[in-house]
């Protein structure tokens, strides 16, 4: 690559947060350096979290997916936008608050299960919150109900604003497309929890017990991964193994702290920085 940068900066990072699709794998295909990267993190005692805007899957779904690729992670090492939305509710909502969910079962489990079991109540009549994520079984009646509830005063929370969702068939409508429908029909802007907005990054720092300057965000998407972290003062690595090419990067106003072709190049540079 022709991009000039100071690889020695890598030595200062004690924690890592990272996107998955486009960084660790593409679809169900592991990217080069995947196993070596997790070996490197553990060998150097670098705690990490995997961040995903996808609320349609659970943390355990990603644990199983990575296990098929030969990588062992704990459920607690993944944070979904559904979990981040659930964390927001715990910080803002009184016990017993009613919530109406537009989304898949993992989002419902995040809101009503685990630590939230018995804390929030499913409510399709007069909820305090409408929480919306991706819904691959969406029907008009659900959107209609959510619209009416938001218009009646329920606070509207969206797990993420990604307009499309990547599948093996191609790009399909994502949570942001459903959100656009609801924002148009209600005249209300959603409070977005996932990347590139602050709540998900703040949750990751809280879980790791780290501060922004010592934590590295690794991603392949300039908007959701890099710009979102930049806004909070979190140093960033862009990998050119996903949605962003070198040409895209050179034309973009959004810049990462460091840029690498993929995981093998990042590992080599990080190891060298630690040995200096």
pLDDT, one tens digit per residue, over 145-161 is 999 999 999 999 999 99
Q: pTM of the predicted model, to two decimals? A: 0.91
Confidence of residue 190 (pLDDT cuts 50, 70, 90): very high
* pLDDT above 70 (res 173): yes
- 188: CATH: 3.40.50.1000
Confidence of residue 122 (pLDDT cuts 50, 70, 90): very high
What is the residue range of 151's domain? 82-192
State mean pLDDT over 90-115. Answer: 93
Rounded Cα gap, residues 201 and 212, in angstroms = 9
Could you tell me which residue, 2 or 234, shows the higher pLDDT? 234
Same domain for 269 and 209: yes
Domain termination site, one of 160, 192, 224? 192
**Per-residue pLDDT, 40:** 98
Same domain for 259 and 187: no
The percentage of residues in the chain with a pLDDT greater than 70, rounded to a whole number, is 99
Q: Contacts from 122-127 at CB under 8 Å and sequence distance 24+? A: 122/98, 123/98, 123/99, 124/100, 124/149, 125/98, 126/98, 126/152, 127/97, 127/98, 127/99, 127/100, 127/154
* pLDDT above 70 (res 1): no
**Per-residue pLDDT, 94:** 86
Annotation marks residue 19 as catalytic: yes
* pLDDT above 80 (res 4): no
Confidence of residue 71 (pLDDT cuts 50, 70, 90): very high
Q: 30 has which bridge partners?
A: 25
The catalytic position among 19, 109, 123, 162 is: 19
**Per-residue pLDDT, 2:** 60
Same domain for 251 and 209: yes
**Per-residue pLDDT, 167:** 74
State mean pLDDT over 260-270. Answer: 97
Confidence of residue 203 (pLDDT cuts 50, 70, 90): very high
Domain termination site, one of 158, 192, 226? 192
**Per-residue pLDDT, 199:** 94
The DSSP secondary-structure symbol of 30 reads E
Beta carbons within 8 Å of 30's beta carbon, 6+ residues apart = 24, 69, 70
What sign for the dihedral angle of Cα 80, 244, 29, 216? negative
Same domain for 121 and 30: no
State mean pLDDT over 226-252. Answer: 95
Same domain for 181 and 231: no
Answer whether residue 1 is part of any domain.
no
The DSSP secondary-structure symbol of 214 reads G
* pLDDT above 90 (res 193): yes
State mean pLDDT over 177-196. Answer: 97
Rounded Cα gap, residues 48 and 229, in angstroms = 15
* Number of domains comprising the chain: 2
Answer whether residue 107 is part of any domain.
yes
Q: What are the tens digits of pLDDT across the range 23-38?
A: 999 888 999 999 999 9
* pLDDT above 80 (res 260): yes
* pLDDT above 90 (res 117): no
Answer whether residue 28 is part of any domain.
yes
């Amino acid at each position: 690559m022709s991009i000039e940068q100071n690889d020695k900066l890598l030595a200062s990072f004690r924690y890592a947060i990272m996107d998955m699709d486009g960084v660790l794998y593409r679809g169900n295909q592991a990217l080069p350096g995947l196993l070596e990267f997790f070996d490197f993190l553990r060998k150097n005692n670098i705690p990490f979290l995997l961040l995903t805007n996808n609320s349609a899957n659970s943390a355990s779904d990603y644990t199983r997916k990575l296990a098929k690729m030969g990588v062992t992670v704990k459920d607690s090492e993944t944070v979904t936008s559904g979990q981040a939305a659930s964390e927001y509710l715990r910080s803002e909502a009184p016990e017993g608050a009613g919530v109406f969910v537009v989304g898949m079962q993992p989002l419902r489990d995040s809101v009503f299960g685990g630590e939230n079991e018995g804390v929030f109540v499913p409510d399709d009549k007069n909820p305090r919150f409408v929480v919306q994520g991706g819904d691959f079984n969406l029907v008009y009646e659900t959107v209609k109900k959510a619209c009416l509830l938001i218009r009646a005063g329920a606070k509207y929370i969206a797990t993420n604003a990604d307009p499309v969702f990547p599948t093996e068939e191609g790009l399909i409508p994502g949570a942001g497309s459903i959100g656009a429908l609801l924002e148009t029909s209600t005249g209300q802007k959603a409070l977005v929890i996932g990347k590139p907005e602050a709540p998900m990054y703040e949750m990751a720092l809280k879980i790791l017990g780290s501060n922004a300057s010592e934590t590295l965000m690794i991603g392949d998407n300039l908007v959701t991964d890099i710009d979102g972290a930049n806004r909070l003062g979190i140093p960033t690595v862009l990998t050119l193994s996903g949605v962003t090419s070198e040409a895209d990067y050179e034309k973009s106003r959004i810049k990462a702290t460091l840029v690498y072709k993929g995981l093998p190049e990042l590992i080599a540079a990080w190891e060298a920085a630690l040995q200096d």
